[in-house]
Structure 1
């Protein structure tokens, strides 16, 4: 268990027209930057187990709460959360610290941002480590349109886009219950329920499976979202089709060395085409669900450090 008091102290840093809440550790390791990018609905604190291990391994660890999260800025315009803005924040963060490039690590939506960042700014990324979400191929149809055709209007990606504000309000009314019910492992199999999954989860009075964190750890996430609300973070989803257009003329192949870490019990499927788009990728699978670095912290650290070691030689 890691308490908030053990986590690095925060700094508020002005970059790219916003203010980011950044947790930094290992300044004594200047020159070896690694940037950890959280997913949804997460927080920089989701990397609490990785920070000390990476510092001990000689890295300057930079962990932002990205725009829309925590005490970072929450612009009101939906388009301020597209991949150009999100990747622009990370590039500006590198500039702030005086780095030409860095290793970027992402989980869930953070992985989507790291993949997009690497496509848009390949010279600023030296290595890629992503958890849970593999590279998403840019198909012939925009992503939300494609998902709507396959999964229907209640699929939460689609719902967030087609019914703006509805889910935001439900999650904000039930913040503790939603996050408590979401951060679970070893959940029994259930047939899909009618309705929108995230709204159902927020309204469910009884959680399934086992918690992945202590009450004090969960309180960090609950407190953050009670303060920020959910709209800024959900606006990331509302830019998927915009991102599809923004990436139209970008070389889709990622040449950087990459590590992809899957959870074998994750609901996100593994990619069958990963090596077509990320030819220099190594794949590791762990026996866990979606919250990989929090469910299996030691195994995650071991996989990351073992992979990074080979590039130090």
Structure 2
């Protein structure tokens, strides 16, 4: 049975009009669900519904540049400072002091940074397929360029808008591949030649094996949206990769609120060892591993991810829903 997704509430915060999808009582403990790339708030539809039914005020925004939310034309307005300030503004708009922030993919990167840049607004962090990465000693974009060359998708984004155009021309292929069940384990992926592991935009377009784990109607939500909006404003998040690194040089890499990392066992984007050192930077972190799971963790295994979130929230979140 398809999950019924609510109509959005529109708020004006941090200079933009943002679409936010809500579930649960407005006076319930707040939980913010931050989607990744190239996704939408809709990626959290299963968890949004379940959290609302559990008594939480669950909020899933189309983030800056996505879906029904405004799309500034200036690349710098998609840096980590704007993205996290949007989340603080969202709390202000709904009258909440703090929330647990859950994020997947780019949303995961953002919510971990939320705990560093706006610690007073964060009651806890859930990284769904996204561990905490402390600030590296070198510009990570340059490291990727040296390791993989200009065709690596993040490097490609910096050099031109070829990727934006290629993705817009192949929207259906993008979202067919995005939501395919992997046909190999992470160990088997690692055994492939390097050229087969280079994550280029063309590899997002070329046909892949594996069944699609979303229904046609669910996949169509993404296809219809991105045909209308294009990809440029979402890719602009990546175009701040080096600037985000430069502009956070003085930020202490320490998180002092409870955290949960939900790991996807076979995600090619996040090797198994990533996040093994999180205890050095986080006072209280738990881990939960979802087996036989690829990158889109909360949509591929929605019930298991939801159970893990609700279990942790019930034990860790101050003022938990009753």
Quickly name the TM-score band, shorter chain normalised.
Answer: over 0.9
**C-alpha displacement of 1:86:** 0.4
Superposed CA offset, 1:173-201 (max 9, x none)? 11111111121113245645469634223
Distance 2:110 2:218 in 1: 25
- Describe the SS at the equivalent of 2:257: coil
Alignment of 1:1-313 (within 5 A): 1-3=1-3, 6-26=4-24, 28-161=25-158, 163-188=159-184, 189=189, 191=193, 193=195, 197-204=199-206, 206-267=207-268, 268-269=270-271, 270-287=274-291, 288-311=293-316, 312=320
Instruction: Show structure 1 runs of 5+ residues with no match.
Output: none
Superposed CA offset, 1:205-249 (max 9, x none)? x33211120000000011111111101111111111111122111
Superposed CA offset, 1:96-131 (max 9, x none)? 011111110000100001011110000000011111
- Describe the SS at the equivalent of 1:184: coil
Task: Report if the CA contact (8 A) 2:23-2:51 is conserved.
Answer: no
**C-alpha displacement of 1:77:** 0.8
Query: Paired residues, what number?
Result: 308
Distance 1:146 1:183 in 2: 28
Distance 2:197 2:253 in 1: 35
Taking only aligned residues, the RMSD between alpha carbons, in angstroms, comes to 1.7
Instruction: Show structure 2 runs of 5+ residues with no match.
Output: none
**C-alpha displacement of 1:152:** 2.1
Superposed CA offset, 1:130-162 (max 9, x none)? 11121112122111012112222221111111x
